[in-house]
Structure 1
Amino acid sequence: MGYLLLGLLVFLGVHSVRMVSDSWRTQALARWGEGAYKGVYSLLAAAGLALIVWGFGVARETPVVLWTPPAGMRHLAALLTLLAFVLLAAAYVPGNAIKARWHHPMVLAVKTWALAHLLANGNLAHVLLFGAFLLWAVANFIACRRRDRALGITYPAGTAKGTGVTVVVGVGAWALFAFVLHGLLIGIRPIG
C-alpha cells in the first residue's frame, strides 16, 4: 500500500502545483525554461504513475474489503464512465458545446471516472486510489473555474458538429475500453 500512496502523492502533487502555487510555477517556468520545466514535470508524473500502477497491483493481491457494493452499482459505474469518456473527448475535440459550457471537461472526466469506480468497488486500494483522484478533481475544478473568472477567460461557443463529433469519439473510446482494453490492461472485464 505504501507504493500506491507514494505514487498518488507524487502524481497528484505534480498535477497540483498550479492549483497550490501558480506564482511558483510561473517563476519556475521563467527560471528553467518551458522545455526543462515540462521535462521535470513529465518525469515526476511518469514516476508517480508507475508507482500507482505497481502499488495498486500489489495491493490487489491481498485485498482489504471494506464493503461489498450492490451489483447495480456496476451498471451505474458503466454509465458514469461513458459520460467520463465523452467529457474526456470534449477536452480535445475543437468547437464542442460541452467545453463551452463546462470549460474544464478533462477534470470533470476524472471526477466522474473516480466516482464511478468508488461506487462499484469496496476494497481499500480502490478507495485510496479513486478517492484521492476524486478529491483532487473536485479541488482542481474549483481552482480552474476560479482562475478563469479572475483572468476573465471566456470559451467560444460550441457547434452542433463539434459536439456530435465529441459524443461519437467519446462513446467509441468508451466502448473500446469497456469491452476490450479494460480486461486486457486491468484484468477486469466491467461489461460482459
Structure 2
Amino acid sequence: MTTSLIIGGLVLFSLLHLVTATRSIRSAAAEHLSELQYKSLFSLLSLVTFGGAIYGYIESSYVEFWVPESAVVLFQSFVLMPIAIILLVSSYISRGTQRLTRHPMLMGVAIACFSHVLVNGDLAFILFFGGLGTYAVLAMIWSDYQCRISKGPKDQLFLEQTGYFPSFGRLYPEEGDILPRVGTLGPVIGAVSYGLAITYHGQLLGVSPLSSLLAS
C-alpha cells in the first residue's frame, strides 16, 4: 500500500505539472478560470498528490538494497550537493543562472534526488527520490519541446543561447543575448545555503555527512 502511494502520488504529481506546463492547455484553462482559481486548484492538487507520496514514504518499512561506500557518500555530499544547492538557490535570484544550465531549478532537483539515491539503498527512498528526480528530467525535456514547437523568436533564441551543461562561451554576454550575466550573488548565497545544510543536516535529519568525512 505504501509503495503504491509513493508511486501513484508522484505519477499524478508529475502528470499535473507536465500538463499545466503544456502551453495550449494552460491557455485554455486561463480562459475558463480566474488566476486565483487556477492557482488555488493547482496548489490543492499538488499538495494532495505530493502529500500522498510523502505519507507513503514516511509509513514505508525499511527495505535495504545496498549500503554505500564512504567514498560515494563523500562524493555526493561534497561534490554533487554543492552543485545542486547552488543551482537551486541561484535560479530564484538571477535568470543569469540559465547560462550555467538551461533549467537550473530542475537540474538542481535532479542532481539532488539522484545523488541521494546513490547514498540511500532503502526501497522507499529509491522510489521517492528517484521518482522526483525522473519528474525533473521529464519536465526539462517537456519544457524544451514546448519552446521548439512554439516557433516564437524568444523561445528559439533561448534554446540557441542555453544548454544543459556549462560552457565558458555562454558565461559572457554577447550581442543579442537575452540573458543577464550570471553574477555572484546567486552562487554566493547558494554556497552559504549549502554550508548551512551540510552543517545542520545531522541535527535536522539524524544523519550527518560530516561523519563520513571524519571517518575517512
TM range (shorter): 0.7 to 0.9
1:91 has 2:110 as partner:
no
Shift of residue 185 of structure 1? 4.2
What amino acid does structure 2 have at the position aligned with 1:106? M
Corresponding residue number in structure 2 for 1:80: 80
d(CA) in 2 for partners of 1:124, 1:143: 28
d(CA) in 1 for partners of 2:139, 2:191: 25
Corresponding residue number in structure 2 for 1:165: 185
Shift of residue 94 of structure 1? 2.2
In structure 2, the gaps of 5 or more residues are 159-177, 212-216
Are the aligned partners of 2:85 and 2:194 in contact in 1 as well (CA < 8 Å)? yes
Corresponding residue number in structure 1 for 2:171: none
d(CA) in 2 for partners of 1:14, 1:127: 22
d(CA) in 1 for partners of 2:203, 2:45: 26
1:178 has 2:179 as partner:
no
Counting aligned pairs with the same residue, the percent is 26
Are the aligned partners of 1:68 and 1:121 in contact in 2 as well (CA < 8 Å)? yes
What amino acid does structure 1 have at the position aligned with 2:193? A
In structure 1, the gaps of 5 or more residues are none
d(CA) in 2 for partners of 1:74, 1:16: 32
1:70 has 2:90 as partner:
no
1:110 has 2:112 as partner:
no
d(CA) in 2 for partners of 1:106, 1:99: 9
Are the aligned partners of 2:86 and 2:191 in contact in 1 as well (CA < 8 Å)? yes
Which structure's CA Rg is the greater one? Answer: 2
Are the aligned partners of 2:202 and 2:209 in contact in 1 as well (CA < 8 Å)? yes
d(CA) in 2 for partners of 1:7, 1:178: 29
Q: How does 1:127-142 map to 2 (within 5 A)?
A: 127-142=126-141
What amino acid does structure 2 have at the position aligned with 1:42? S
What amino acid does structure 2 have at the position aligned with 1:167? P
Q: Cα 1:31–1:184, aligned 2, differ >3 Å: closer, same or farther?
A: farther
Corresponding residue number in structure 2 for 1:37: 38
d(CA) in 2 for partners of 1:186, 1:3: 22
Q: Cα 1:191–1:16, aligned 2, differ >3 Å: closer, same or farther?
A: farther
Corresponding residue number in structure 1 for 2:147: 148
RMSD: 2.1
Q: How many residues align?
A: 185
What amino acid does structure 1 have at the position aligned with 2:120? N
Q: Cα 1:170–1:136, aligned 2, differ >3 Å: closer, same or farther?
A: same
